[in-house]
């Protein structure tokens, strides 16, 4: 009886290697980690604090579920983000930035300032979320000396920021009660804001680009300040 031929053994699968510029250069190494499409936008979302996968997907219109899952996995492997389970009674898992991931804040802030002039006209296909204005607006508020939580109301929605000089002399880029690498901004209205401002997206972008000052925008009525405390008074230029 003829011997049956055994199928050829398949070669062992090689681990998938992420694309690299293969350059001994700091910029190239950084882009190896964050140069893929969507990665920095995921960082932007996580600067607002821990988020569930479904929330990230909802606030990143246009990204597929496969791509989002792949980018999050890459960010975990690169030490930019981690995944953890929330304590009971919640059974959800959330993604949050590590210290290294949070170190991208000045990079995102610089990119937001650099890209702001390109927002002169909103395209019909452009999606928008209120909290996307948080990073551009932070740069316009760094000169405030009164520390507190500022609630921002736009037609597109609400978010809140921690502004003013902190005890150590740095700018208030972390919300009160946040952990070591806490939220730079918060989604929705604040529980107990020290002041509120109401403005349009156009005024917000003009502030971010340095086209006007907060004092000027308040005086000409493009920004309305609500509240009676020290932070509100400084925002009104009093």
pLDDT at 158: 97
Task: Decide: 127 and 109 in contact? Cβ < 8 Å.
Answer: no
| Strands of 157-163's sheet in order across | 185-187, 157-163, 148-154, 195-199, 223-226
* Inter-residue contact 106 to 138 (CB < 8 Å): no
Positive or negative: CA dihedral 13, 16, 20, 22: negative
The stretches in the chain having pLDDT less than 70 are 1-18, 165-182
Backbone region of residue 164 per phi and psi (left: phi > 0; alpha: psi in -120 to 50; beta: other values) = left
pTM of the model: 0.85
Alpha carbon distances (Å) from 60 to 5, 86, 106, 193: 53, 22, 21, 27
pLDDT value of residue 143 = 84
Residue 116, pLDDT score: 87
Q: Residue 8's pLDDT is what? A: 55
DSSP, residue by residue, 113-158: HHHGGGGSS--TT----GGGGHHHHHHHTTT--S-EEEEEEETTEE
Q: Is 163 helix (H, G, I), strand (E, B) or coil?
A: strand
CA distance 104 to 125: 28
The span from the first CA to the last CA of the chain, in angstroms, equals: 101
> What is the helix, strand, coil percentage profile of the chain, to 5?
35, 15, 45
Identify which of 145, 222, 229 has the alpha carbon closest to the alpha carbon of residue 193. Answer: 229
| Cis amide bond preceding 89, omega within 30 | yes
Calculate the alpha carbon distances from 92 to 53, 89, 95, 121, 124 in Å: 9, 9, 10, 39, 35
pLDDT in tens, 174-223: 444 444 456 889 999 999 999 999 999 999 989 988 899 998 999 999 99
Give the model's pLDDT for residue 28: 96
């Amino acid at each position: 009886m003829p011997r049956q031929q055994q199928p050829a053994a398949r070669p062992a699968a090689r681990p998938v290697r992420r694309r690299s510029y293969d350059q001994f250069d700091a910029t190239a190494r950084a882009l190896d980690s964050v140069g893929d499409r969507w990665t920095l936008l995921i960082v932007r979302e996580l600067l607002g604090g821990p988020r569930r996968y479904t929330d990230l997907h909802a606030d990143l219109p246009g990204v597929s579920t496969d791509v989002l899952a792949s980018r999050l996995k890459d960010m975990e492997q690169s030490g930019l983000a981690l995944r953890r389970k929330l304590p009971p009674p919640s059974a959800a898992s959330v993604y949050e930035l590590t210290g290294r991931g949070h170190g991208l804040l000045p990079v995102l802030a610089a990119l937001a300032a650099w890209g702001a002039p390109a927002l002169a006209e909103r395209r019909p296909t452009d999606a928008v979320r209120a909290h996307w204005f948080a990073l551009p607006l932070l740069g316009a508020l760094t000169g405030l000396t009164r520390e507190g939580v500022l609630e921002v109301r736009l037609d597109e929605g609400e978010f809140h920021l921690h502004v003013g000089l902190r005890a150590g002399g740095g700018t208030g880029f972390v919300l009160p009660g946040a952990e070591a690498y806490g939220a730079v901004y918060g989604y929705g209205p604040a529980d107990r804001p020290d002041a509120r401002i109401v403005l349009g997206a156009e005024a917000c972008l003009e502030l971010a680009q340095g086209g006007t000052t907060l004092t000027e925008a308040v005086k000409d009525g493009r920004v309305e300040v609500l509240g009676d405390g020290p932070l509100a008074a400084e925002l009104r230029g009093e």
